[in-house]
Amino acid sequence: MILVHHLENSRSQRVLWLLEELELPYEVRRYQRDSKTMRAPDTLKRAHPLGRAPVIEDEGRTVAETGAIVEYLVEKSGGRLGPPARRDAVLRYRHFLHYAEGSMMPPLLALLVVNRLGLLGKPAKTAVQQMMDDHLDWLEEELSSRDWFAGDEFTAADVMMSFPLEASRHRAGLDETRPNLIDWLERIHARPAYSAALQKGGPYAYA
């Protein structure tokens, strides 16, 4: 049985969703953020020294980092929702699997910080928002020619892309002016496995 250390309103919601899609048995250990600082509790450091989620435990192994966990679970399931057959789609799959955290999350986190700084963050806000707009415009164009990020079929790359785009809808200006991205969000939210993961993980502000 896979144990998922799950922090509320965090990237770990994607792991629960993927596990539901892959129909792998798992249990959830929930952690709540500090209501004032919004930081994870110190008890999460028992799962991993950095005290960050997600972390999974499986067959004596501890795996951290969402991308690494996604690759581990896809492999464990025999390649389900993994790279498509066509070479171009494989490259897109790998790209978006790593792009979600490596390229899109840094400006999203920067935007969160400058918003919390209020007037002190105002000088940087326009530049950071422009970075986000560049990402969103490009992603909108990417989905103008196909239904999913890797190709014509839903893959784990879409799971990885869910959190940054949900967070963008919440705080980075993603709205109906980018209909392809909104349609993609509506389609992932309509998946039965997504709903099942929400029930297992508890409240999630970005759905």
Residue 145 has a pLDDT of 95
**What contacts 205, CB < 8 A, 6 or more positions away?**
9, 170
Calpha distance 17→32 (Å, rounded): 19
Q: Sketch out the chain's domains with CATH numbers.
A: 2-81+193-201 (3.40.30.10), 87-191 (1.20.1050.10)
Q: How much is the pTM?
A: 0.94
Judged against a pLDDT cut of 80, whether residue 121 lies above it is answered with no
Q: Per residue in 149-194, pLDDT tens? A: 999 999 999 999 999 999 999 999 999 999 999 999 999 999 999 9
148 within 8 A of 155, measured Cβ to Cβ: yes
Q: Taking the chain, what is the end-to-end CA distance rounded to the nearest angstrom?
A: 27
CB 45 within 8 A of CB 51: yes
Beta-sheet pairing, 26-31 with 2-7: parallel
Question: Percentage of the chain with pLDDT > 90?
Answer: 87
Pairing of β 61-64 and β 26-31: unpaired
Q: What is the pLDDT of residues 4-16, one digit of tens each?
A: 999 999 999 999 9
Distances, alpha carbon 67 to alpha carbons 47, 53, 129, in Å = 17, 12, 25
Residue 136: count other Cβ atoms within 10 Å of its Cβ: 22
pLDDT digits (tens, 9 = 90+) for 89-103: 999 999 999 999 999
